[in-house]
């Protein structure tokens, strides 16, 4: 009897310990309320300044968060520079000559370090910066969950395999998002981030020259004017992902899809006779539904495998490990 009672007490103790450990590892919207009360105003002022200098930067900063979270979770690994003894993710195929805004993150980190040294992770800075970029460009607001720590490692291989490509069809898109715990609705909502920003000719060349059934012909011809057929010519020429309001966060991106004017192959796959069509139509008819689902999906994406507690570190410089 005594042995049975002791075993019961032991398992209760173990359960309580696990629950405490689990709760302490959860992200919180008030994580820095005492340790860095000026965090939000510090970040937003720097983001605001960057977007005033170049509107496109808002989309670039939002994209950094996507590309970070899809590779082993939201851990700031994308920000690490390569060294002679370390290979990061910046030169992975989806990132090289594509992701940008690292200098803005540097500026934000410097400002935050002045306000509260050694407290806020680079991973959390990416999360707040993404939210602020959306809000500044006219999109919805939300309370960002914080408490992530920074990775000491990175994976170029995982970046190559985990980040959805602009050539993906609908099934591959659904599978990529499902692999990180995001639903088809989450995927369509998050793809709505393409309501802002621009893409390089290399990412849509094949679509405007080779696709015929699901692309508006006049739209294709217009894009061909700035994106030559031959690879190596005009590769980095830019075109807006949303041809109507590329600097405003709204639902026009989805309206373009219905008119077969999605810039990327992966964009148009969301409205091409498949399971995502009804979601696209709902976002056209109800913009507030898009905003609400986008916020839900952003929060879910921010929950992907964060480092918390004693895992990882708080980097002093986002580009290198301490």
Annotated binding site for heme b: 194
Catalytic residue among 44, 63, 67, 131: 67
Taking the C-alpha atoms of residue 68 and residue 78, their distance in angstroms, rounded to an integer, is 5
Q: What span, in angstroms and rounded, lies between the C-alpha atoms of 322 and 5?
A: 48
Instruction: Provide the sign of the torsion angle of the four alpha carbons 278, 263, 200, 48, taken in this order.
Output: negative
- 265 catalytic per annotation: no
8 Å CB contact between 128 and 43? yes
**Cα atoms found within 13 Å of the Cα of residue 101, Cβ hemisphere only:** 32
> What residues are designated binding site for substrate?
164
Q: Residue 1 burial by CB count (10 A; 0-12/13-18/19+): exposed, middle or buried?
A: exposed
- Give the integer Cα–Cα distance in Å for 240 and 113: 35
Q: What is the DSSP string of 11-42?
A: HHHHHHHHHHHHHHTS-BTTTTTTT-TTHHHH
Annotated binding-site residue numbers: 68, 71, 73, 75, 77, 89, 164, 194-195, 242, 245, 250
Burial of 322 (0-12, 13-18, 19+ CB in 10 A): exposed
Dist. CA 59–CA 61, nearest whole Å: 5
Q: What is the DSSP string of 150-161?
A: B-S---HHHHHH
- At which residue do the structure tokens 């849509």 appear? 204
What values do phi and psi take at 52, rounded to 5? Answer: -65, -35
Active-site amino acid positions: 67
């Amino acid at each position: 009897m005594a042995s049975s009672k002791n075993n019961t007490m032991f398992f209760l103790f173990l359960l309580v310990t696990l629950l405490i450990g689990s709760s302490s590892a959860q992200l919180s919207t008030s994580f820095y309320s005492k340790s860095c009360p000026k965090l939000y105003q510090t970040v937003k002022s720097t983001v605001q300044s960057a977007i005033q200098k170049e509107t496109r930067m808002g989309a670039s900063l939002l994209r950094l968060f996507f590309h970070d979270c899809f590779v082993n979770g939201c851990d700031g690994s994308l920000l690490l520079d390569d060294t002679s003894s370390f290979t990061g993710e910046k030169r992975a195929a989806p990132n090289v000559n594509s992701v940008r805004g690292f200098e803005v993150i540097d500026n934000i980190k410097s400002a935050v370090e002045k306000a509260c040294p050694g407290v806020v992770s680079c991973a959390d800075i990416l999360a707040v910066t993404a939210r602020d970029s959306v809000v500044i460009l006219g999109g919805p607001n939300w309370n960002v969950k914080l408490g992530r720590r920074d990775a000491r490692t990175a994976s170029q291989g995982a970046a190559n395999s985990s980040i959805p490509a602009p050539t993906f069809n609908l099934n591959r898109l659904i599978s990529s998002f499902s692999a990180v715990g995001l639903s088809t609705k989450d995927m369509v909502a998050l793809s709505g981030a393409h309501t802002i920003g621009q893409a390089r000719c290399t990412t849509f060349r094949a679509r405007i020259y080779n696709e015929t059934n699901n692309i508006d012909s006049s739209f294709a011809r217009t894009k061909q004017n700035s994106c030559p057929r031959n690879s190596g010519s005009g590769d980095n020429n830019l075109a807006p992902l949303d041809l109507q309001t590329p600097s405003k966060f709204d639902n026009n991106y989805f309206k373009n899809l219905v008119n077969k004017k999605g810039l990327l192959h992966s964009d148009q796959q969301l409205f091409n006779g498949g399971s995502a069509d009804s979601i696209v139509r709902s976002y056209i008819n109800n913009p507030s539904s898009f905003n609400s689902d986008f916020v839900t999906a952003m929060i879910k994406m921010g929950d992907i495998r964060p480092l918390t507690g004693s895992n990882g570190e708080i980097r002093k410089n986002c580009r290198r490990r301490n």
